[in-house]
Amino acid sequence: MALRPLGRQLSRSGLLWKAASQPKSLRNLSQGLQNAGNGRRRLYFLVGVGSCAVGTVWWFRKAREEGEGGVLPVARAGGSEKVEEKPVKVSGRELRYKSFASYVYKGEPYMSARDFLDSLIRDGPRSVDKEVIDDKILDKMLWGTPGRRKGSDHLFKDMWNSSVLSYGDYLFLLTALIKTRRQFEIAFRMYDVDNSDFIDHEEFSRVEKSVTAQRDNAMIEQKRLAKSSLSVHFFGYRGNQRLFSRDFFKFLEDLQSEVRRMEFDQYSGSSPTMSEEDFARVLLRHTTWDLDPVFKRLRGRPPSLGISFQQFNDFCQLLNSLEDFSVAMTMYTIAGQPVSEEEFGRAAHICLGKPLDPNLVSTVFEIFDKDGDHKLSYREFIAVMKGWKLRGYKMREKKQLGGPLEEFKACVKMEMRDK
């Protein structure tokens, strides 16, 4: 039987409007069924209403489950729609900071001076346990922080565990290890607007931001302490002292010297010199190179007196001027052709203002001379040295992006290589 007569009859009787306007009234629905006609028509009407009801319920449930991405927005308390929170991307530096930080203050992780030094030379923290500190313990640490007059190239060993460093301090110290003095001079002069040769606490926070990556500035502000061991060292416990340029640049030189001495002693066993093989381990520690061929080449050379700390320190200074060194090297090469020891030494002399030890230059060439032609592919050398200069952070980020399996394989390869 056709349904059109039923529709016309329902329209004439006004039952469709009644059902729509009063869907919860069972009495009106029953009356509508009685007026709908014979039994078959009542059955069609009942099935149609039931199907619509089931479909409507399913549709609204689907929209509610899908939320913002569904068919309809879901009303929430306060009249606002549900906003899906996007996962926050955490940088490799922040992950490493949180991993090595041994203190927790007001729910946030903080480093000690010892944690900072460990993060530069160790693959992982000494312990995963973190000590919760309160205002009293923090205040005691800050009161014991050495002032600028007691600054030295063993400041961080002096502070050791009785210190607290924020994430902003951590990023600034990392930057201080890889930037040249000239770059910091520019930043310092930019905020010393009255040419007084000193800056205050607020101006120093601007210097911090100018020499760190812009993407980290929001996190620095969020995690900033009112006072940290670094700020107390620069500006005193009350934060009202002035930081003069001579003290600032001396701090940078002392920091670089302390870290380099620590790295040198780690591989030399605190001896006056390190072997050429240990020097190769230092340079290639953040790569996946197979060290056996490198050691074979080094053992085939005439015996030497090894690498002294002064030679190691000069080489590290060259790496801090890696961009300038790369430009100087292009003056001797065409389209990235390999360079000789003499050309390498001259370019280093130009950047450092003093010559590198000939034995050091020869050792570097032996490490990177894979094909035995006594030439160095400076592009590969620059790429490896950039990774070492950044303490392997780029490599760690790539391993994290590659997943646990890739990270495990890379770690096993590096462990087997160092045996």
- DSSP class of 70: S
**pLDDT interval class at 334 (50, 70, 90):** low
Decide: pTM greater than 0.95: no
Q: In this prediction, what percent of the chain has a pLDDT beyond 90?
A: 43
Q: Amino acid identity of 235?
A: F
Identify the helix (H) or strand (E) that includes residue 308. Answer: strand 307-308
Span 112-130, average pLDDT: 94
Q: What is the pLDDT of residue 14?
A: 46
How many Å apart are CA 303 and CA 193, to the nearest integer?
Answer: 55
Task: Tell the residue number behind the tokens 């007196």, with chain if given.
Answer: 305
Span 227-245, average pLDDT: 95
**Strands 103-105 and 131-132, sheet pairing:** parallel
Identify the helix (H) or strand (E) that includes residue 273. Answer: strand 273-274
> Does residue 348 or residue 376 have the better pLDDT?
348
Q: What is the pLDDT of residue 219?
A: 62
Q: What is the pLDDT of residue 381?
A: 87
Span 70-81, average pLDDT: 43
SS3 24: coil
Candidates 257, 213, 245; CA nearest to 93 is 213
The crossing angle, in degrees rounded to 10, of helices 393-402 and 378-389 is 90
Q: What is the pLDDT of residue 287?
A: 85
Give the range among 3-17, 280-294, 350-364 with minimum mean pLDDT. Answer: 3-17
User: Would you say how long the chain is, in residues?
Assistant: 419
CA 212 to chain CA centroid, Å, is 11
Question: With the C-alpha atoms ordered 366, 367, 371, 374, is the resulting torsion angle positive or negative?
Answer: negative
**Which tokens belong to 26?**
């069972």
At residue 239, does pLDDT exceed 50?
yes
Give the range among 9-23, 172-186, 311-325 with minimum mean pLDDT. Answer: 9-23
How many Å apart are CA 399 and CA 269, to the nearest integer?
Answer: 30
How many Å apart are CA 150 and CA 62, to the nearest integer?
Answer: 68
CA 235 to chain CA centroid, Å, is 27
Question: At CA 24, angle to CA 18 and CA 25, rounded to 5?
Answer: 65
Q: What is the pLDDT of residue 56?
A: 52
Q: In this prediction, what percent of the chain has a pLDDT beyond 70?
A: 68
Of 15-19, 362-366, 407-411, the range with the highest mean pLDDT is 362-366
Q: What is the pLDDT of residues 126-154, one digit of tens each?
A: 999 999 999 999 999 999 999 999 999 99
Q: What is the pLDDT of residues 170-215, one digit of tens each?
A: 999 999 998 888 888 998 999 888 899 999 998 998 887 777 766 5
How many Å apart are CA 129 and CA 30, to the nearest integer?
Answer: 70
- DSSP class of 300: T
How many Å apart are CA 142 and CA 139, to the nearest integer?
Answer: 5
Q: Is 9 exposed, middle or buried (0-12, 13-18, 19+ CB in 10 A)?
A: middle
Q: 335 — phi, psi (to 5°)? A: 55, 40
Strand partners, 105: 108
Q: What is the pLDDT of residue 392?
A: 53
Question: With the C-alpha atoms ordered 82, 83, 87, 91, is the resulting torsion angle positive or negative?
Answer: negative
Of 24-33, 55-64, 185-194, 331-340, the range with the highest mean pLDDT is 185-194
Task: Tell the residue number behind the tokens 């592919």, with chain if given.
Answer: 377
**pLDDT interval class at 155 (50, 70, 90):** very high
At residue 284, does pLDDT exceed 80?
yes
Candidates 164, 168, 99, 109; CA nearest to 138 is 164
**Which tokens belong to 212?**
């760190």
Span 259-285, average pLDDT: 94
Average pLDDT of the chain to the nearest whole number:
78
Q: Is 150 exposed, middle or buried (0-12, 13-18, 19+ CB in 10 A)?
A: exposed
Q: What is the pLDDT of residue 140?
A: 96
Q: What is the pLDDT of residue 271?
A: 94
Q: How many CB atoms lie within 10 A of CB 156?
A: 22
Give the range among 131-145, 209-223, 308-322, 392-406 with minimum mean pLDDT. Answer: 392-406
At residue 401, does pLDDT exceed 50?
no
How many Å apart are CA 405 and CA 386, to the nearest integer?
Answer: 25
Q: What is the pLDDT of residue 320?
A: 86
Q: What is the pLDDT of residue 363?
A: 94
> Does residue 299 or residue 30 have the better pLDDT?
299
- DSSP class of 199: E
